[in-house]
Chain A
Amino acid sequence: MGAAVIGYFKTVFRATWAFVEGLWITLCYLFKPSVTVQYPTEKLVPYDAFRGMLLFDASTCIACSLCAKACPSACIALESQVHPETKKRVPKAEWYTLDLGKCNFCGLCQEACPTKPKSVWHSLDYEYAFSNRDEMVRCWKPGFPLAGRVWDPKGKAFRDLESYIPVREVQGRR
């Protein structure tokens, strides 16, 4: 009888204490800073190894097409320039395209690129959204911005990206 009474009060005390512990934990969390990022007005900058949107710099590219060969999903295509007088190929890209619909962000093109700094590289930009499939194919010609432009099949011209908002200019090129 006595043991039962003691056990009863022990159970009551244990249960109450468990509730108090739980309340204490939630109270502690209440006064901890929240970890939410207010995304559109506050953006995180990813770590340096982050593989974001691919950028291309036509001014450093030597049109060796190593990136196109390294690409496992065959999303890179390019053509080198032809010298206007000698009619010979020069180590400059005439055009360069990346089909981001195929790209799997493996970073092999960046590893294969022999130039220094890299001509094609992953930036830290993670804010890429496409409003149609044409936008997935990024095109570069000499003089285009690093993010490239998009071929507009209706207007038969290149147009700037609509949905491109770079997080930071570019990642440190390796």
Chain B
Amino acid sequence: MKAEGSGKNEPVPAKHAEAKPAAAAAPAPKPAPPEPVLNRRHGKLLTETRYWPTEIWRNPWSLPRYRAGALWLAGIVLGIAAIGAGVGELAAWGEKLLALLGRSGLPPVAVAWVWVLVKLTCVIGVIVANGLWAVWWERKISAHIQSRMGPMYAGGFHGWAQTIFDTIKLLLKEDVTPAAADQVMHLLAPIVAIAPCVMAFAPVLFGDELAAARIDVGVLYVFAFASISVIGVVMAGWASGNKYSLLGGLRAAAQIVSYELPRGFSVVPVIMFAGSLDLAVIGQAQAGYWLGFFPRWFVFYPVVGQLAFLFFLIASVAETNRTPFDIPEAESELVAGFHTEFSGMKWSLFFLMEYGYVLLASFLLAVFFLGGGAAPLPHPAFIPAWLSIPSWIWMTSKAMLMMFVFLWFRWTFPRLRVDQLMDFNWKFLLPWSFANIGLAGVLIYLHLQGWGLR
């Protein structure tokens, strides 16, 4: 046998070939070495070495997929901005469509009805598309916060079609009504829960002047309708014939009704600053810049703005039954709370409602505190006006940022106990939101005395 000069760890094929002549008496033909395995998707030989997380995290930019991801993100942001600049203001397109309808020879009443139907379709489309998008985004964000990847296969690009397939599955699922349930109430509960959600979107601004309806008391209208959904939730809990569901429904009632108060009171400073309940007026009141560059958003009003923003954000999270305020559907305590006994499309209507309210709260946060459709910086003079990013892109971006904050909260904070939840609301949020109204009055007084920034 040949001397094995080289070290022990020499690769196999060479050694194998060397060993062959020694075994010359082998009666059998040479065994065929197995085919080298190729990665099924990329066709590369599978010899890539992957390290443990700490080593991956030491220098993430050395990973090709990390750089590719950053490029993708930048490309998506730029692409959205480019699409926005290309499309222009959506409100203008709406005006054109209305003018087209008016010229079509229909009687004015019919035109008004068709126009309302178009707007309604748009709003419902936004809510449904938001359900698809928010579920996918939530799964991605939660996965990446936990160093996972989330859905990756459905649809090809990062599992973008996952929620579409999930929806198809939910539509095809059996609709189970428990024997102990109140049949009619069980059927009505998701409808009662989702209908106010759609209605509450009527005055919500998706950009400057881009709303389904201009309502003078828009803020009041939104809050009034958004709080009706709790009836659907309580109905769901009661009609399920399940004590966990009942507990969840009652908790939801207690929580949502309680957090309505600080939510409403935290907006009062905004209403005081803007001097109107009309969402469009509130948005326009924040236009312009201090010192030529610093946006005059209500969130930047000293102390009052930040406190109101925080209170409204916290109360909104509680209103939408999301972690850390998700005691109505606390998985570890109540299985799934009020929607334990729901399946298929009824169940998904509850989730549509939840994500609809998250979207509503995000848009409200954007309008109340983040300047609505105003750009964070004044439009530079050297860029032509037609290249400017329209207000609906700014509005949606701000709303999406706020939605990210919702998801971020959800995957950071642990759930509050019931008594802590009530304690926090009644002993902290509510008094301080009252105090905040007083502070806003002081600020306005100072402003009227000429102390404020113009």
A residues near B, CB below 8 A? 12, 19, 22-23, 25-27, 29-38, 40-45, 48, 57-60, 81, 90, 92, 116-117, 141-147, 165-174
Interface 9-residue window, one of B59-67, B173-181, B329-337, B346-354: B59-67
Partner of A59, one of B28, B37, B146, B413: B28
Q: Which residues of A contact B8 (CB under 8 A)?
A: 172, 174
Interface 9-residue window, one of B10-18, B109-117, B164-172: B10-18
Once A33-B57, A58-B26 are accepted as A-B contacts, the answer to whether A168 and B37 lie under 8 Å apart by CB is: yes
Once A142-B28, A166-B37 are accepted as A-B contacts, the answer to whether A33 and B46 lie under 8 Å apart by CB is: no
Mark interface residues in B48-86 (1 if CB within 8 Å of A CB, else 0). Answer: 111011001100100101100000000000000000000
| Docked-complex contact A60 and B48, CB < 8 angstroms | no
| Docked-complex contact B28 and A58, CB < 8 angstroms | yes
Main secondary structure, interface of A, reads loop
| Docked-complex contact B39 and A45, CB < 8 angstroms | no
Partner of A45, one of B19, B36, B47, B52: B47
| Docked-complex contact B149 and A38, CB < 8 angstroms | yes
- Which 8 residue pairs are nearest across A and B when measured between Cβ atoms? A142-B28, A143-B28, A41-B41, A26-B412, A35-B53, A36-B149, A59-B23, A59-B26
What is the distance, in angstroms, from A174's C-beta to the closest C-beta of chain B? Answer: 6
User: Bound state CA distance, A170 and B34, in angstroms?
Assistant: 8
B residues near A, CB below 8 A? 1, 4, 8-13, 15-16, 19-20, 22-23, 25-34, 36-37, 39-42, 46-50, 52-53, 56-57, 60, 63, 65-66, 141, 143-149, 152, 408-409, 411-413, 428
User: Bound state CA distance, A92 and B22, in angstroms?
Assistant: 12
For this complex, 11 residue pairs linking A to B, each with C-beta atoms less than 8 Å apart, are A26-B411, A33-B57, A33-B65, A57-B31, A60-B22, A92-B25, A116-B1, A116-B19, A142-B27, A143-B29, A169-B33
User: Bound state CA distance, A25 and B412, in angstroms?
Assistant: 9
Closest residue of A by beta carbon distance from B4: A116
Once A34-B149, A169-B33, A172-B11 are accepted as A-B contacts, the answer to whether A43 and B39 lie under 8 Å apart by CB is: yes
Once A27-B408, A172-B12 are accepted as A-B contacts, the answer to whether A167 and B37 lie under 8 Å apart by CB is: yes
What is the distance, in angstroms, from A87's C-beta to the closest C-beta of chain B? Answer: 16
| Docked-complex contact A142 and B34, CB < 8 angstroms | no
Once A32-B57, A33-B65 are accepted as A-B contacts, the answer to whether A173 and B27 lie under 8 Å apart by CB is: no
| Docked-complex contact A144 and B408, CB < 8 angstroms | no
Q: Which residues of B contact A23 (CB under 8 A)?
A: 408-409, 412
Q: A58-B31, A174-B8 are in contact. List 5 more A-B contacts (CB 8 A).
A: A25-B412, A37-B50, A59-B20, A92-B26, A172-B12
User: Bound state CA distance, A43 and B42, in angstroms?
Assistant: 12
| Docked-complex contact B148 and A34, CB < 8 angstroms | yes
Q: Which residues of A contact B29 (CB under 8 A)?
A: 143
| Docked-complex contact B28 and A29, CB < 8 angstroms | no
Q: Which residues of A contact B409 (CB under 8 A)?
A: 23
- Most B CB contacts (10 A, CB to CB) among A26, A29, A170 go to A26
User: Bound state CA distance, A35 and B63, in angstroms?
Assistant: 12
| Docked-complex contact A33 and B37, CB < 8 angstroms | no
Q: Which residues of B contact A59 (CB under 8 A)?
A: 19-20, 23, 26, 28, 30-31
User: Bound state CA distance, A25 and B144, in angstroms?
Assistant: 12
Q: Which residues of A contact B53 (CB under 8 A)?
A: 35
Once A42-B39, A45-B49 are accepted as A-B contacts, the answer to whether A35 and B147 lie under 8 Å apart by CB is: yes
